[in-house]
Structure 1
Amino acid sequence: MKKTKKNGGIQLSLFDDWREITDNELICELTNKPTVSEEWTGEYRLERLFNSLTPHRRRIAMAAVELYKRRNTARDKRKTIHNSRDVFDIMQPLLCDLDNEEFWLMPLNQAGRVIDTVRTTMGGICNTPVDIRLIMRKLVEVAASTFIVIHNHPSGNIQPSTDDRRITEAIRRAAEIFRIHLHDHVIIGHNSYYSFSDEGIL
């Protein structure tokens, strides 16, 4: 790929492969800045990057990221879940950069293949409401044999709260009535996760 410098930035043609340039070069191109400060070295949160953009660029960037997440989610619906890491790989891009909690449902068929990924509720910084009736209705509608529930902790602390444990048990008991097995409850942090199944709670 040919790259040329223009006004301290990177001039790219429409068909250049963005994957061939570094994170810092991508940030420079997006923010229209000639250099990137040391604060961008290593891990960074998307909202920090978006806050440095003009309002117009921010809207375009956020729309592009949302479209990318939706396309990946549609692709991941074909996946078979073998372990909690598979769940994390699917859900982390959707949840890692949120400032609020969300609760998601992942119904699986008898072979463990993902039927759908559904956001059931959106909440605040520290919690999100969970309507067990909505979860059960969706599981019955898609004829799920088993399922996984997922939510995020914006703080990055992946340890389950007392409420997390309580709602997990309530969901498990409700699903038993329909003979649908709760396979796991995964809590997503920024770059890590907690699995109720791995910890022997389910």
Structure 2
Amino acid sequence: MYFTNLLSLVALASAGPSSINYLHQLSAALVKPAKLVPTAQFNFAPYQVTSIALDCKRPNNKTNYSCELYFALHDPNSVRENNVTSCSCHHTWSWDGVNGSLSTTDWRTPVAGYQLCWRDDWTFFKSSVPSFEHPGNFSLEVAHTYHDDENFTVPWDYPTTIATGEVIIYEYYEGVKKHGDKICLREMGPVNATVVGILD
């Protein structure tokens, strides 16, 4: 039976590298040109992460698990100006079944790097998995670039908001079969991811 217990998604702004330095570094990977905008002047609603599904499988205990993560992402902050406010994201990585997979201290080498979830011209969603301790504890980072001429002016009217959090699952399904083993988790949500930075 798949788990049905607690899932929490909490901001990692204090757990990762300095948010100011990190967001400057991240800007090159997400969107150009970019400048850091203080979040205090905005009242961003959190991203909503739903339909989380993580499967880690391997044929035998001498090989690494192949992990595959799917989740749906919704950004309520761009509803007024964009037709597309939601998307589905997908990541894969390898895990030895014992040790956590951590990125470097500046998060430049995540477990699963930024992947495009959806794109239309200058609007896009991207996501990454900065770290993975085990199927019950991994981090997410999500970003959305969208049009906003209400809070920003040309040529800075396509901001990128960034949310980051840690997924903690206390119960999940672990099975051993004749032809290998697997670890699976499912969570419908929604759970929230707090916006921790803006690039413009």
Relative to the length of structure 1, the TM-score reads: 0.30
Relative to the length of structure 2, the TM-score reads: 0.31
Q: Which has the greater radius of gyration?
A: 1
Structure with greater helix share of residues: 1
